[in-house]
């Protein structure tokens, strides 16, 4: 893969799961990486504490990364929540659970893109790779209505931002991770019968590892994907192909 050596990246939600794998993969490909998370312990050269739903916090985190690196080339809005036990179908969904999900998953992605893209524009271009979800395009996550709606919004952002900034040297894409071995999914993956039933619906017959999602992010961030923008790339083992 070419195009990541010597680049500067900003990743949200980098302390665990897919975000952590993305940070580690980008660093392995030669990028210098700043991470923003609500908890300490994120990998990367510049770990920062920030809640993506707080505009002042995310603006400050991006500014700190720009100051440390001299600019940014890649933005990965990844931070997300899934309020297990609170998210539900619409007639049972509490407004507070809905709002918190939207605040982090959609508004947080927007704010990260807003301030991150400003940094990319100042540097003459770059790439944005959102972490979206098949649940935002298909009704496959019954009972997770807030999460699904928030990820549908992220998919919409990918498409419109790709159109908005293509003429200014910024590519915008999204990955759609399928069932992935992360803490977010352990509430059901810990049940062997439930896990087996879900994995049976995946043509490849298993859950993804976070590193497999990170590989797709790294490709879309690289010069190998120089003619790719506005794409929503399934990395789901064939889940949404059948």
Catalytic residues: 147
Using CA atoms, how far residue 145 sits from 139, 141, 177, 185, 186, in Å, is: 9, 8, 18, 16, 19
Tally helices (H) and strands (E) across the chain: 8, 7
The angle at the Cα of 242, spanning 81 to 144, to the nearest 5 degrees, equals 25
Residue 88, class by beta-carbon neighbours within 10 Å (0-12 exposed, 13-18 middle, 19+ buried)?
Answer: middle
């Amino acid at each position: 893969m070419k195009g990541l050596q010597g680049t500067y990246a900003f990743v949200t939600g980098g302390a665990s799961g897919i975000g952590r794998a993305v940070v580690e993969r980008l660093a392995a490909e030669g990028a210098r990486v700043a991470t923003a998370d609500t908890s300490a312990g994120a990998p990367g050269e510049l770990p920062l504490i920030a809640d993506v739903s707080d505009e002042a916090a995310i603006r400050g985190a991006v500014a700190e990364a720009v100051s440390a690196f001299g600019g940014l080339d890649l933005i990965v809005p990844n931070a997300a929540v899934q309020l297990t036990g609170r998210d539900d179908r619409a007639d049972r969904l509490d407004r507070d659970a809905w709002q918190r999900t939207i605040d982090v998953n959609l508004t947080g992605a927007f704010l990260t893109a807003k301030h991150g893209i400003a940094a990319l524009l100042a540097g003459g271009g770059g790439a944005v790779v959102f972490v979206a979800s098949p649940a935002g395009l298909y009704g496959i996550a019954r009972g997770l209505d807030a999460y699904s709606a928030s990820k549908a919004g992220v998919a919409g952002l990918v498409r419109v931002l790709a159109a908005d900034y293509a003429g200014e040297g910024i590519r915008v894409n999204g990955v759609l991770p399928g069932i992935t071995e992360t803490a977010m999914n352990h509430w059901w993956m810990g049940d062997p019968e439930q896990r087996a039933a879900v994995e049976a619906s995946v043509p490849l017959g298993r859950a993804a590892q976070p590193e497999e999602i990170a590989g797709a992010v790294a490709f879309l961030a690289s010069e190998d994907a120089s003619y790719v923008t506005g794409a929503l790339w399934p990395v789901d083992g064939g889940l949404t192909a059948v």
